């Protein structure tokens, strides 16, 4: 299975993904700025966790999502949204049609430099590109002991590490800035087990491997909490850049 094919397996856990993956923290509103009446394109929108947040901020939102099952959940949760089947490398929207393009927890699945060039194509001059990931803080030892369980060592489809967007030096984007927003996510043991089932490393395991992972996950989580609840350190991180003005 290729890395790209692996990225299209999330539909098998679409409902679980929508129920248990983290939504954007409230502080993300400050990071995004004033989006009222902005045309925003979300690329790799999944089940719409960020879509709903963007709508609450007053944006006019369109989404592109390649996985039919993920997109179906998004459309049910956000009826009437401008929802399109498509890929980051060939966006089905016109040139210079958006003020903002957002990709959350999806950039690592895109083929480059094609996706970067497509996002530059559809952004208006001086428009903003947000490439973000919303997940566990990486410098917390007990979380590191959990996240290592979702991986499959030696798996050629394993996600490359890194939490910023390499936008190249083609002059398409200006002033790239890496950002981090730290926040805390209150979870129960069962909710933690459920969210781990939505990661690609878990999806690609056999049923027996997933059972073994969940047993060890539960043991390690219970080392941290005696009450069945835990405050999880989280980080929203990524890159923000500005679309360079075109030479007309």
CB 140 within 8 A of CB 233: yes
Displacement of CA 82 from its chain's centroid (Å): 19
Task: Sketch the domain layout of the chain as residue ranges.
Answer: 3-138+158-186+234-243
Beta strands in 85-228 (DSSP E): 98-104, 123-136, 173-188
Fold of 3-138+158-186+234-243: Rossmann fold (3.40.50)
CB 161 within 8 A of CB 112: no
Q: What is the tens place of the pLDDT at every residue in 25-64?
A: 999 999 999 999 999 999 999 999 999 999 999 999 999 9
pTM of the model: 0.91
Burial of 2: CB neighbours in 10 Å, binned 0-12, 13-18, 19+: exposed
Q: What is the tens place of the pLDDT at every residue in 78-135?
A: 999 999 999 999 999 999 999 999 999 999 999 999 999 999 999 999 999 999 999 9
């Amino acid at each position: 299975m290729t890395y790209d094919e692996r990225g299209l397996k999330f539909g098998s856990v679409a409902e679980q993904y929508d129920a248990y993956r983290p939504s954007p923290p409230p502080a993300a509103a400050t990071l995004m700025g004033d989006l009222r009446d902005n045309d925003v394109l979300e690329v790799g929108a999944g089940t719409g966790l960020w879509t709903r947040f963007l709508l609450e901020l007053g944006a006019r939102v369109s989404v592109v999502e390649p996985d039919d099952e993920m997109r179906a959940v998004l459309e049910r949760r956000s009826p009437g949204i401008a929802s399109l089947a498509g890929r980051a490398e060939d966006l089905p929207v016109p040139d210079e049609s958006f003020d903002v393009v957002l990709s959350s927890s999806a950039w690592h699945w895109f083929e480059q430099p094609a996706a970067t060039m497509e996002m530059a194509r559809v952004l208006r001059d001086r428009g903003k590109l947000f490439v973000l990931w919303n997940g566990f803080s990486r410098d917390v030892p007990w979380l590191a002991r959990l996240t290592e369980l979702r991986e499959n060592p030696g798996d050629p489809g394993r996600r490359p590490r890194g939490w910023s967007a390499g936008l190249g030096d083609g002059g398409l984007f200006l002033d790239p800035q890496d950002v981090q927003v730290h926040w805390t996510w209150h979870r129960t043991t069962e909710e933690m087990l459920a969210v781990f089932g939505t990661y690609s490393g878990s999806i690609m395991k056999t049923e027996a491997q997933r059972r073994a992972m969940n047993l060890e996950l539960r043991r390690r989580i219970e080392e941290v909490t005696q009450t069945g609840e835990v405050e999880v350190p989280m980080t929203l991180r990524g890159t923000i850049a500005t679309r360079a003005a075109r030479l007309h």
